[in-house]
Amino acid sequence: MGDVAEVLDRIWRADAAGMLGALTRRLGDFDRAEEALSDALAEALRRWPVEGVPDSPTGWLVTTGWRKALDRLRRDAVGREKLARVAAEAPPEPGVDDRLAMVFGCCHPDLPEPARVALTLYAAAGLSTAEIAAAFLVPLPTMAQRLSRAKRQLRERGVRFEVPRPQEYADRLPAVLAVIYLVFNEGYLSSGRSVQRRELAREGVELAGRLAGLLPHEPEAAGLAALLELHHARVGARFDSWGRIVLLERQDRRMWDRAAIGRAALRLRAAVRRGRPGPYQVRAGIAALHALAGSYEATDWAGVRALYDRLYVLDPSPVVLLNRAVATRFAVGPAPALDEVEALGDRLAGYHLWHAARADLLAALGRPSEALTAAERALELAANPAERELMSRRVAELRRRL
């Protein structure tokens, strides 16, 4: 039984979106598809230990789920009209379109962002409700309610899980990419001490890679996949043995996954050759310059700074300019970089990383008292535990200098 349960868990994680998408498309109802697939999984737990795992386990589960759905419709007075329409159809076969439709459906713009994230992790990445709740540090009933509300909203709005037409990608794809990016960042930012957070980052990488495979002609999907792969390739050096963040300049680059970096760089080059630049491709280009440098000092800082200029054209955010200022420090000098940071004060005074950047630059310019004040303010504003711990160390270091 244990082996079968492990097999089913792997199948669910690998193709939850395809199986749910195939059933949802045919039944026109996410909840009915989910119930049918749940019945099929229970049936597999009963039969596979005796009969063995079938040659096509995914096909078996979808076919069994289809039959279970028809049985439920026969017992359900409300479903009899639907039964008359679908009973004569052959069991669905999950395919690329079904997986893609499920991802786009979960990221429907009518849903609030937390619901999009939760539903994507559940239906498109195959995480359980308990795993999602643990990753986001919320109680299990809260996450279950969030998922239930999201499904109800989609049903009430009559959202169909269908692949958008190519001309609709420009409107729908950004929401999908943003959700996957958020999934990764939620895990990557503070995964040092938490297995669940590490899993969340890994799921973000896998979702991005899967989406890039489903949309081979969309360079931004490839750009996001390359970006997350480049970041994730450095994860082994990003935290020390106590689970504390290790800044990029202090990381042991021998611990980076060079093979993954090479694959991501090739993916990015192929995307860029399509001639349709986008913010994820540019961010991936910045990450690639860091990942391919032999050392922190040897980084092409002028190239990084130039890419931030390009990114600002595509994403005119003050945070982009803040990151550009960090590159200015090494490409030009700390004094011009501080001028750039100070110019953002009216827009980023409430942002902890603005104060952290000021602290580093003031320290580099030999102004430790001002640097300490800025670092203390950064610590006050920081909410993430891993970042707070890092900034606490920075404050302690600056106090020792005074």
Of 135, 251, 250, whose CA–CA distance to 190 is shortest?
Answer: 135
pTM, rounded to two decimals: 0.79
- What was the pLDDT predicted at 195? 57
pLDDT of 197 reads: 66
Residue 239 pLDDT: 87
**Three-class SS of residue 245?**
strand
Query: Quick one: which H or E segment has residue 64?
Result: helix 57-75
What is the spatial distance between Cα 390 and Cα 402, in angstroms, rounded to a whole number? 19
Report the alpha-carbon distance of residue 359 to residue 338 in Å, rounded: 10
pLDDT of residue 307: 98
Q: Count of CB atoms within 10 A of residue 298's CB?
A: 9
Averaged in consecutive runs of 10 residues, what is the pLDDT profile of the chain (402 residues)?
A: 79 83 81 88 90 89 88 70 56 69 83 85 83 80 90 82 73 86 79 62 87 91 97 91 88 96 97 96 98 94 98 95 97 98 96 96 96 96 87 94 82
Residues 362 and 370: beta-carbon distance below 8 Å: yes
Cβ-contact 180, 200 below 8 angstroms = no
**What local confidence, expressed as pLDDT, does residue 360 receive?**
96
The residue type found at 147 is L
Q: What secondary structure letter does DSSP report for 124? A: I
pLDDT for 72 equals 82
Beta bridge partners of 239: 245
Provide the residue ranges of all domains of the chain, joining segments of one domain with +: 2-94, 96-201
Q: Determine the Cα–Cα distance for residues 175 and 198; give it in Å rounded to an integer.
A: 23
For residue 18, the model assigns a pLDDT of 84
Whole-number pLDDT of residue 402: 80
390 forms bridges with which residues in the sheet?
none
CA angle 370, 318, 357 (to 5 degrees): 25
Output the pLDDT for position 93. Answer: 64
Separation of alpha carbons 315 and 111, rounded Å:
23
Three-class DSSP category at 65? helix
Cβ proximity of 301 and 317 under 8 Å:
no
Cβ neighbours of residue 141 closer than 8 Å, sequence gap 6 or more:
none
- CA dist list (Å): 237 to 8, 205, 249, 287: 33, 17, 11, 15
The confidence score (pLDDT) of residue 175 equals 86
pLDDT of the residue at 374: 97
- Which amino acid, one-letter code, is at 62? V
